[in-house]
Structure 1
Amino acid sequence: MGQFTMPESSEPEIMEHQHQATTKARELPMARSMCWHCQSEVTGEYLCGQCVKVQPLSKDLDYFACFQLPRLLNIDEQQLEQTFYELSRTFHPDFYSTKDESEKAISLGNSAFLNAAYRTLKDPIQRAEYLIRLEAGAVKDIRSNPPADLFEEVLELQEDLETFRQRAPQGASPDLEDLRTKLQDERERLEKRQAKMEESLQSQFKQWDQLQARTPLPDQAREEKNSILRGMQEILSNRTYVRNMVNDLLETTG
């Protein structure tokens, strides 16, 4: 399967929601309200206004806030990249090679956080998994589980894979080639199933973004929000399992 991509949003409410976030001042929550070096007040700037020392990012800062983005799944990727390079120029450790050890450590920590945030938000699947962890309060990665309707077929498929691995070292045979063909057919079927899951994900992503554009959420929308989160989590869990099976089949049968 090719890389999962997001369609561009044309929803005016969602675009306005993104615009409001991009017009905010370039300030990030910092770890301290006072500069660690000169003790001047720091109100959000990542460089102290008095001594121009780099400030450590707050541990409470999430990836979306880091890039001045709302918690949407169809984000402004141009803004993401632009902000990433802007902050990279501020935090990159190479620019602090002649500074004291405190500034070196702060720039290294800020840069590592920035790189992790960028990698996560740039990938639609990782972005969705991260948002679910934020919104649902989960601290662990989403576990992969087989779709309920494929459970018995998956068990049979795993048995066939194990049989193929055991027979392959013995050399080619008609039975082995028949099994290879069967497994390749199963792989194609799973790839189609994965594609359908990704279509369902795109629909869920659109619903989420539309809901966020209605902020502040009315009480009746909170259950809708939780329902979308549960739906996305289930699809992502199933997709990860199916994707791993597809990769296993590719690696085993060629």
Structure 2
Amino acid sequence: MRFFTLFGLPISFNIDLDQLHAQYRELQKAVHPDHHASGSDSQKLLSVQKASEINDAFQTLKNPLTRAEYMVSEHGFDVRHEQQTIRDGMFLMQQMELREELEEIEQASDVETALDDFYDDVKQLITEYTDAFQQHFNQSEYEEAAMAVRKLRFIYKLKEEAQHLEDKLLDF
């Protein structure tokens, strides 16, 4: 879990985002290419590579979904690049219902309320699957943790679709 180590953070889903940001700024200052402008070409290249690695690690850890994806990938479950489908019938039914709810928002008499209701449902599911992920991960049940992350990916995708719909409908 080198990303956590890089920022001096414990390997945990719940991280101190203020500490992450502070460590990021410190690390970026230390390896900034301007500090190595008078160095050799190899030193300059190494500085750029380290800055890129720090940025990748920061981007991964600051987002809850990518943090969870990273955590399970470190245990052999690369859910970001897999094409595995979820065979959980209840989850698939839930997805269909959420997709229908999302599609119906455009015809709702009160679009803002319909969007708020949808976001409430999504928030509840994010909490549910995040809790499941943490429980399984903390008990070293990495396959089950990866399944929770797969479900989170679906939910976050729906949330993103709702945000695009909101922008379209409310002219943002």
With structure 2 as the length reference, what TM-score do the two structures score? Answer: 0.74
Distance 1:118 1:67 in 2: 8
Corresponding residue of 2:44:
104
Q: Unaligned stretches of 5+ in structure 2? A: none
1:207–1:157 CA distance, 2 compared to 1 (3 A) = closer
Q: Deviations over 1:156-193 (max 9, x none)?
A: 854x68xx6xxxxxxxxxxxxxx352654542332111
| Distance across 2 between alignment mates of 1:107 and 1:238 | 37
Aligned residues: 165
Measure how far apart 1:242 and its partner are.
Answer: 1.9
User: Which residue of 2 is the match for residue 227 of structure 1?
Assistant: 144
Letter in 2 for 1:249: L
Corresponding residue SS for 2:38: coil
User: In structure 1, how many angstroms separate the alpha carbons of the residues matched to 2:133 and 2:98?
Assistant: 29
Higher helix share: 2
Tell me the C-alpha RMSD between the 2 structures: 3.3
Once the two structures are superposed, residues 3-48 of structure 1 have per-residue CA deviations (whole angstroms, 9 ceiling, x without a partner) of: xxxxxxxxxxxxxxxxxxxxxxxxxxxxxxxxxxxxxxxxxxxxxx
Cα 1:150–1:76 change in 2 (3 A) is: closer
Measured at CA, do residues 187 and 149 of structure 1 come closer, stay the same or move farther in structure 2, by a change above 3 Å? same
Task: Tell me which amino acid in the other structure corresponds to 1:130.
Answer: Y
Matched, 1:251 2:164: no
Looking at structure 2, the residues matched to 142 and 252 of structure 1 have their Cα atoms a distance apart, in angstroms, of 31
Rate the CA distance shift 1:102–1:230 in 2: closer, same or farther, 3 A.
Answer: same
Contact kept in structure 1, 2:7 and 2:24, CA below 8 Å: yes
Which of the two has higher C-alpha Rg? Answer: 1
Corresponding residue to 1:117 among 50, 57, 71: 57
Aligned to 2:78: 138
Instruction: Provide the identity percentage.
Output: 22
**Cα distance 1:85–1:237, how it changes in 2: closer, same or farther (>3 A)?**
closer
2:32 maps to amino acid: H
Q: What is the CA–CA distance in structure 1 between the aligned matches of 2:76 and 2:95, rounded to whole Å? A: 27
Residue 96 of structure 1 contacts residue 103 of structure 1 at CA under 8 Å; is this kept in 2? Answer: yes
Deviates more, 1:181-190 or 1:194-203: 181-190
Tell me the TM-score normalised to structure 1 length: 0.53
Return the alpha-carbon distance in structure 1 between the equivalents of residues 168 and 108 of structure 2: 9
